[in-house]
Structure formats: structure tokens, C-alpha cells
Copies of this chain bind each other. A is one copy, B any other.
């Protein structure tokens, strides 16, 4: 049988209230002797307070939920790590949920998290589905959306990277390097980030008075397998291009592999730029020029803001645009 606060109070010959106070560090008014006695007994017995029971009365579980598409996607571990680090630092615990961008799963997780009485939720939504936002709006639970904002969601905060400017800067750089027939290998264009990056891409071309090529937008998935195959096809078709701006690093990595497999020199024949700056971006040869997205910071900051919301209980509508940064490496040739 596991020891409870009652057992401790009995053994220490005090009330449960007193034990509770020393367990929770609210023991200013408890005499040193009893405090020490209680502490010793707790130690001896190996008493572990039942936080479930505390949560019942405090209405705080000190737990937050994180819903992301897939922790196995290299973009998310760092994000998750950022969230967890801040959470842990503040004594919170993190529940991890993989939605696979599946609306049903998102919904289920949202429900489970609320049933488990999490204090707040960090959410990378698959789309801006209104049903989800509605449910979320109704419940009073603090929610922060990360990486992609979700339209119908009111009175909540969003942390996203500045995709448009990131893409703009990247493509601008490619143009400066002398690439001017640049494809955009995009992830699913229905997602906000993909759209924003596309906008940035277009704006960069426009600003340089360069007409986008026909078929410059190639839509697919955020996967190296997809881009590998797709780029092979592009090569075979004898398409005329000299640069590829990729929706993310995975796409860029797959493209790089396909190009190298056909002995196309990167960066001399074709320039390549990715997005995210995942760890692997610097582990390939040539290293990937890419737009660094502060994933870890996004997670960390999301958690910071979430805890602030939890503490203040007031919700503020807010869009936090985090800066991206172009990391120039070897997959683009240097500017003459």
C-alpha cells in the first residue's frame, strides 16, 4: 500500500494540513522541529505526494499538451524540445500528441487533453478547420498555435516564423548568385507556410523583374523521397532551370541527392536552397544553404507565452512573427 498524506500525518502526529504545507513549501509558519520531523518521515516512508489529488482541488495539473503532426518529421523534435525545456523549467510536464495532420486525430487529442485537464495546449494545426477552432473557442483552455496559424481561433496567440520574408531573402540571394531560372519545389500548397513562402518567392522575382518560368511551382510533399523522384523526373525531361528553391530542407536534401546522382554539380550548375535548417543541412556535401527557422525558440517561446496565459487567465490576441535567417552554405555559389 502506498503511503498517503494521512499516513505521514499520523506518523508525525500532526494534521494533514501541516504535512501538506511542508510538502508544498508553504511551511513558513511551521516550526523547524515539526518541519524536520515531517521531512524525515516522508523520507523514511518514501512518501510520494499524489499530484492527481492536488490537481482536483487546485484546478491545476501543471501539464501542457503539444499537438504536432509527427515527431518523426525532423522539423518537430527541436520544436518539441523547446517546449519541453521551458515546461520542465517551470515545473510543467508535457503530453506529446502526433496528429499526422489528420483532423479526426487532432480532434480526439484535443478532447483527451481537455479531459486530462491540461492547463494549456500548444498546437500545430493541420488546417484552419473551423470545427476545431469552434470547439477550442468554447472551452476556456489557453491555446497557442505554432508554425501555422489557424484562422477561426479567437483570442489566442500564434507563433510563426516569417515565411514570406524568409523565402524572399532566400530567392533574392539566389538571384544575386546568378541563378535566375528558379523552380519552387513546394510542400502541399494548402498549408499556410507553403503559401507564404511562395509569396516571398514571387515577390523576389518580381522585384528583380524576372518573369517566373512556366511550371515554376511544383507541388508535392515535405519529404526527401518525393523530391528525389520528382527531381529525377525534372532532369529526365530536360527542363531548363538553374536553381531550386525548396519548401523545406528535406525536399532540398532529396533534390540534392537526385542532382548528384545525375552528376549535376551543385552549386555550379544548379543552386539549391532549403528551408528550416535542420541538423542534417550541414551534414551533406555541399552543405545546404537554407533559411533558418528558429524551431527550438518557437517551441520555447510558445511555451513561455502559454504559461503566461495560464497564469494571467486573460487571453490576448497576438501574432508573434519570429525572424528567419538566411544561412549561406555550399549549395549556392558565391556572389561574384
Contacts and interface: CB of A to CB of B under 8 A. Distances in A.
Interface string A26-69: 00000000000000000000101111110110000101000000
A114 interface: yes
A180 B250 CA distance: 35
Interface string A216-256: 00000000100000000000000000000000001001101
Interface string A71-88: 111101110110011001
A111 interface: yes
Interface stretch (A6-14, A94-102, A147-155, A314-322): A94-102
A335 interface: no
A104 to B, nearest CB: 12
A304 interface: no
B85 A98 contact: yes
A258 to B, nearest CB: 9
How would you classify the secondary structure of chain A's contact residues: helix, strand, loop or mixed? helix
A74 B115 contact: no
A115 B284 contact: no
Interface in A302-316: none
Interface of A: 2, 46, 48-53, 55-56, 61, 63, 70-74, 76-78, 80-81, 84-85, 88, 93-98, 111-117, 138-140, 224, 250, 253-254, 256-257, 260-261, 279-280, 283-285, 296
15 contacts: A51-B116, A52-B56, A52-B61, A71-B84, A72-B80, A81-B98, A84-B96, A85-B98, A93-B116, A94-B97, A95-B95, A253-B280, A256-B285, A257-B284, A260-B285
